[in-house]
Amino acid sequence: MGFSYKNQILHAESVAITDLMKAYGSPLYVYSRTDIENNWREFDQAFGAHPHLVCYAVKANSNLAVLNVLAKLGSGFDIVSIGELERVLAAGGKAGQCVFSGVAKTVIEIERALEVGVRCFNVESASELSRIEAVARSVGKQAPISIRVNPNVDAKTHPYISTGLKENKFGVDMSDALNLYQQAQNSKYLNVQGLDCHIGSQITEVAPFLDALDKVLLLLEQLKDKGIDITHLDLGGGVGIDYEGEQTIDIKAYVDAIISKVGLTEIILEPGRAIVGNAGIFVTKVEFLKQNSEHSFAIVDGAMNDLLRPSFYNAYHQVLPINEKNTTGVQAQWDLVGPICETGDFLAKNRALPLSEGDYLALMSAGAYGFTMSSNYNTRPRVAEVMVANATHQLVRKRETVAELFTHEHVWHTPTKETI
């Protein structure tokens, strides 16, 4: 575990969080390098000798230090924008181990991906397939493609992160996929490589994954009958983590179940949250305590612009005091609320804690979809990020300054007669 109490103080690996707050200030994201490495290896080693590629989903946490740690392990990457592609390359990742997902790839993005040689485009629509073919023709290259199918499987997760139902914007209907594959097979500018499927995120049961796989395998047999050779199956990501005592998936058992169904076909997985979620925390400081006849509010310096998940998904994060034993704090059921002028600005609700003004609190399991979803709402600078490895810690993203927030903005200048 990257985060634990030692001498009643919460530590990141061997470093006291109190020391990190002195060095870097509050609020702060803290990542455990050891946890990131161990989580990725759990997926990779589960496959044994079976052909596979673990492609980390960059959208979960795109910090260059995180990507560099994974690149050094030999990770592939699941990207959804040219920005994520450039981040991977800057961090030392290999374009040939990137799968390019996303529903709205632009011409510029496709051109750049072809230029650097991405492993595969995961195609999400007939229009996108035509665009990729046209771009490939214009640059005189052949585009490697996989078609993402929508198996209409209920992942039993939050509706905002469910992607495998017909009501979702992702993928193509199973009934349409065969014609698209035949179209791609007939084009000299498209190279059919894979079959792709991703049904959602924060999934804590194996059954939905296997239900989707069964449908994918039926399509795979149809493709074989048509003489269309599929060299890999991309089964997406979505493996959930423990936020609130959830029963999570045994990775080895999950991978074994996949291998038992697919024979020798190469498998690509795209875990994101499962790699970094529990490897990061968000630390915030209690500025004020405010109680009325109905509620107890702990007003903290962190806000929904820093950690959006609670406001956006009504997501739960365990809250731990940095000092495990606060004997003088006010015991109550606290709502942790931030400085932003929105009633929806909260990080946690109804938490039994003894609190004092000036306390530091850690929101656990904040390594995924934390900083990547942050914003500058209310003209708030984005917070710093720190990575810890054993007893060493490094700043991996400096805290923004207020002045930096409007360096690209300009006030309106009324034209003078000389400039008209």
CATH of the domain at 238: 3.20.20.10
Q: Is the pLDDT of residue 165 over 70?
A: no
| Judgement on whether residues 292 and 198 belong to the same structural domain of the protein | no
Q: Flag whether 71 is in a domain.
A: no
Transcribe 85-147 into DSSP letters: HHHHHHTT--GGGEEE--S---HHHHHHHHHHT-SEEEE-SHHHHHHHHHHHHHHT--EEEEE
User: Given CA atoms 129, 132, 136, 142 in this order, what sign does their dihedral have?
Assistant: negative
| Judgement on whether residues 247 and 281 belong to the same structural domain of the protein | no
In the numeric block, which tokens belong to residue 45? 């080693």
Confidence (pTM)? 0.94
Q: Flag whether 417 is in a domain.
A: no
| Judgement on whether residues 299 and 253 belong to the same structural domain of the protein | no
Structure confidence at residue 162 (pLDDT)? 44
Q: How confident is the model at residue 268 (pLDDT cuts 50, 70, 90)?
A: very high
| Judgement on whether residues 242 and 287 belong to the same structural domain of the protein | no
> What's the whole-number mean pLDDT along residues 269-277?
97
**What is the Cα–Cα distance from 150 to 147, expressed in whole angstroms?**
10
Final residue of a domain: which of 209, 239, 269?
269
55 is catalytic: no
Mean pLDDT (the chain) is: 93
| Judgement on whether residues 246 and 345 belong to the same structural domain of the protein | no
Burial of 54 by CB count in 10 Å (0-12 exposed, 13-18 middle, 19+ buried)?
buried
CA R_g for the chain: 23
Letter for the amino acid at 313? Answer: Y
Please state at what angle helix 107-116 crosses helix 82-90, rounded to 10 degrees: 30
The enclosing domain of 19 has a CATH number of 2.40.37.10
Among 98, 120, 197, 341, the active-site one is 341
Q: What range defines the domain where residue 160 resides?
A: 102-269
CB atoms within 10 A of CB 357: 13
Q: Is the pLDDT of residue 157 over 60?
A: no
| Judgement on whether residues 361 and 254 belong to the same structural domain of the protein | no
Q: Flag whether 14 is in a domain.
A: yes
| Judgement on whether residues 199 and 220 belong to the same structural domain of the protein | yes
Lowest mean pLDDT among 8-12, 28-32, 154-158, 278-282: 154-158
| Judgement on whether residues 240 and 344 belong to the same structural domain of the protein | no
At which residue do the structure tokens 């080693």 appear?
Answer: 45
Strands (E), 170-295: 172-173, 190-197, 232-234, 266-269, 280-291
Q: Flag whether 323 is in a domain.
A: yes
**What is the Cα–Cα distance from 396 to 410, expressed in whole angstroms?**
30
| Judgement on whether residues 256 and 284 belong to the same structural domain of the protein | no
| Judgement on whether residues 306 and 345 belong to the same structural domain of the protein | yes
> What's the whole-number mean pLDDT along residues 317-324?
96
In the numeric block, which tokens belong to residue 310? 């609670």
| Judgement on whether residues 264 and 307 belong to the same structural domain of the protein | no
Structure confidence at residue 170 (pLDDT)? 66
Q: How many domains does the chain have?
A: 2
Q: Flag whether 157 is in a domain.
A: yes
Q: Flag whether 55 is in a domain.
A: no
| Judgement on whether residues 293 and 350 belong to the same structural domain of the protein | yes
Closest CA to 237 of 122, 366, 126: 122
